[in-house]
Structure 1
């Protein structure tokens, strides 16, 4: 039987949830720019918020990085850097994408909610992966970033649901907290960079007492599905109730969400 969550809509983040961390692309960026990681990536991360909010174009973003790091890049050079960075985000985790497909095939409604620039919208929607999602919400197109409440409400409006129907899957604690603030509260997965996932609440509270259960996104969602079908009495946490929605986040540092 395919995995399904009746009456729920699973909303996924993309970067480092469905996609893998682009280690090779980051190494290639360092080589192409001639910068070290401590010089490039703090600026990359800081300015990324403006790019993902739609306040900067791709060209403006990379030119701002150049100015902050003492470089001068032509359009041709910027295009090369953009391509290295952009394509690096499209290597997906096949196990997670297979889980998304299984949910879709089981009849569960799905959506994508990503903090990303304008350049990600069409690739998300027109890729094979995009066929699995009912709607795709991109922060730059809305001119607002997670964890602002309005982007969660916009996602729910497009889907025609209340937040109580949403199962939210993200990799950042602050985005889980943003979902929590609009009613999407419950079990969160904080995925350490080199450690197994640990079930926690949206505010970082362990849900399992002294020994936390180790949960992957698959185990978390399958546990939720078993609860909805009445196979088990409790959702995959120790709260002994089904919260308004589940949030999933992690502590892995990243530059796009």
Structure 2
């Protein structure tokens, strides 16, 4: 990167969410269990991701097993306890994959500036990244379970900017949840409410031509 390119680029670091940007879950097995139990599809996720159930897990205060127990307790008035725990386990162990297109884009970004993952995640995050072959994707990972603070609390954004080594105003923040993006922009960051890889690609036009990643899967 030449000095003129450095001066003209709109940001100097990328702070990126993990889930629903890079990592995607397959909820089909859980949905099948819900139908068999007579529950509407998505019921388990609604219970499991409710702040009062989910936040202790994301702050590293409880284990995944304890989270499953809390889901089972919340569902036990709707289905037998055995089925409630099975549903909780299916949510906790839902299979996941990385979006290869987004991974390729982010690997190109990292060749030119710091890349920081900023994610509300569990204490198992490091193992999950390794299973997807992404342990080396970012320069740093800021996990809520390790930091003890979760998005959209401003502290987690400040930690991420510090890890990047640049001012908040020179950071691009990418997340699928609007409230998380809005929290970043209040700190002066450039925010991207993520829906698809094109949302990232159009912001990377300032990178050299050899960094372009085609918006199709081979």
Q: Distance in 2 between matches of 1:126 and 1:111?
A: 19
In structure 1, the gaps of 5 or more residues are 192-196, 198-214, 230-257
Gaps of 5+ in 2: 209-218
Task: Output one character per residue of 1:97-141: Cα deviation in whole Å (capped at 9) or x when no partner.
Answer: 11112223x333211111111112343267522212110111111
Aligned to 1:118: 123
1:222 equivalent in structure 2: 204
Match of 2:27 in 1: 23
RMSD, matched Cα: 3.2
Query: SS at 1:129's partner residue?
Result: coil
Please give the TM-score of this superposition, normalised by the length of structure 1. Answer: 0.64
1:164 matched to which residue of 2? 169
Write 1 or 2 for the structure with the bigger share of helix: 2
Distance 1:29 1:95, change over 3 A: farther
Relative to the length of structure 2, the TM-score reads 0.74
Once residues 14 and 155 of structure 1 are traced to their aligned partners in structure 2, the CA distance between those partners, rounded to angstroms, is 14
List aligned pairs for 1:1-257, cutoff 5 A: 8-27=12-31, 30=34, 35-37=39-41, 39-46=43-50, 47-70=53-76, 71-72=80-81, 82=89, 85-88=92-95, 90-104=96-110, 106-124=111-129, 127-186=132-191, 188-189=192-193, 191=195, 216-223=198-205, 225=206
Distance 2:37 2:61 in 1: 24
1:19: Cα distance to partner?
Answer: 1.6
